[in-house]
């Protein structure tokens, strides 16, 4: 099976504007932003969707929310507000089969 685009970004085979990286996660500016601030947080291990999460991934998910808060502060949207979003499946808008979380903000977001 061919690697997904996020696996290639993690391996630095595809350029990206990385805003955060550690041993487990990579965060990058979205190339087609839906808000003035639109950052994707991607686990470095390949997990296709939220449905494939296992109990051993619970710390990773906690890390994602802590990093989302850190990124919101770094991008200047911590006080005004931001949204953390994850999609599961094509009907929900998931276009890449690699679990990722969106951090959106920078203006008033429509109710979702």
pLDDT digit string (tens) for 42-66? 999 999 999 999 999 999 999 999 9
Q: What is the dihedral of CA 89, 96, 78, 37, to 10 degrees?
A: -120
Portion of the chain with pLDDT greater than 90, in percent:
95
Q: Tokens standing for 80?
A: 């005004």
pTM: 0.94
Residue 110, in any domain of the structure:
no
Q: Tokens standing for 8?
A: 């290639």
Q: What does the pLDDT read at residue 96?
A: 95
Q: Report residue 74's pLDDT band, with 50, 70 and 90 as the boundaries.
A: very high
Q: 46 catalytic, yes or no? A: no
Domain coverage including residue 64: 5-105
Q: In what side-by-side order are the strands of the sheet with 18-21?
A: 18-21, 25-29, 37-43, 101-105, 82-85
The active-site residue out of 38, 98, 100, 102 is 100
User: How many domains does one find in the chain?
Assistant: 1
Residues 68-79, buried b or exposed e (16+ Cβ, 10 A)? beebbeebebee
pLDDT greater than 70 at residue 2:
no
Residues 39-57, buried b or exposed e (16+ Cβ, 10 A)? bbbbbbeebeebeeeeeeb
- State the DSSP code for 78: T
Read off the CATH number of the domain in which 60 is found.
Answer: 3.30.428.10
Residue 45, in any domain of the structure:
yes
Residue 112, in any domain of the structure:
no
């Amino acid at each position: 099976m061919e690697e997904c685009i996020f696996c290639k970004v993690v391996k630095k085979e595809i350029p990206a504007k990385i805003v955060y990286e550690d041993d487990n996660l990579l965060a990058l500016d979205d190339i087609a932003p839906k808000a003035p601030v639109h950052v994707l947080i991607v686990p470095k291990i390949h997990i296709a969707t939220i449905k494939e999460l296992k109990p051993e991934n619970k710390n990773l998910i906690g890390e994602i929310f802590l990093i989302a808060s850190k990124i919101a502060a770094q991008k200047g949207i911590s006080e005004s507000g931001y949204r953390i979003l994850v999609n599961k499946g094509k009907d929900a808008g998931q276009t890449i089969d690699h679990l990722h979380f969106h951090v959106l903000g920078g203006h008033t977001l429509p109710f979702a």
